[in-house]
Structure 1
């Protein structure tokens, strides 16, 4: 899909489901890895991950477009446009947008646990990616001393 086709698709979805025009720019952004799209607050433009269209198909991609258009229209109307806002949740449900996008295999790195800390007192295990200063921090459950396992 070309940029002009994406722009037309977003404009069509905006007028059909939101009864409002989309007057800004919609574009693909190859640098997006962990998200399906994003709404840019400053310029009011929308960016989309082209991999979502390739891997998950047009139906999933339309759901992502609806999601980003919810952010767009609610922000321009001065209403709650964030994920936690009730206005956003209600509009997303009404238009049938997707709440989350599907994970693309190989896009997200697996986080490695390098350090395992054990509480001497209660035996609670704390897996961590970064080193913890055991003189400064203790167990969150019983305040016992942590040791590196």
Structure 2
């Protein structure tokens, strides 16, 4: 999806769900890492994380667009536009926007260990010495399971 297609999508969603035009700029910002989108208070422009479309698809992007448009329209009307404000929560629920975006940078575990006693499986990003640690449930040792 290009920035022009994003701009048209944001304008269309704004008219459809908010009954008001979006007259500022909406772009993809590849520097966004942990957030789905951002509303700029001074310029009233919107930035969106391009990974949202790639990882989760267009439906998740539409939820993020609705969320950022809630900030946009409420701020321009002089109402409560922050996450904790009642106006924001009501409008977000009314238009069906997403409250939180799914984690884009979620890492898959590199190592899997299984308890030799109770067969509990644990996942870790870092390797650990199985002779030094024991299971907290049954006090047996662990063995590493290859993927």
TM-score (norm 1): 0.70
Q: 1:106: how far off?
A: 4.6
Which deviations, in whole Å up to 9, do the C-alpha atoms of 1:75-113 show, x marking residues without a partner?
Answer: 000000000000000000000000000001358xxxxxx
Aligned residues: 107
Matches within 5 A, 1:65-80: 65-80=65-80
Correspondence for 1:3: 3
Match of 1:69, SS?
helix
Residue 53 of structure 1 aligns to a residue whose secondary structure is: helix
Give the 4+ runs in structure 1 shifted more than 6 A. Answer: none
- How far apart, CA to CA, are the structure 2 residues paired with 1:106 and 1:59? 19
- Structure 1 residue ranges without an equivalent (≥5): 108-149
1:20 CA drift (Å):
0.2
Give the distance between the partners of 2:106 and 2:100, measured in 1 at CA. Answer: 18
Q: Provide the residue aligned with 1:120 in structure 2.
A: none
**Superposition CA RMSD, Å:** 0.9
TM-score (norm 2): 0.71
Which position in structure 1 is the counterpart of 2:48? 48
Unaligned runs of 5+ in 2: 108-147
Partner Cα distance (2:37, 2:105) in 1: 17
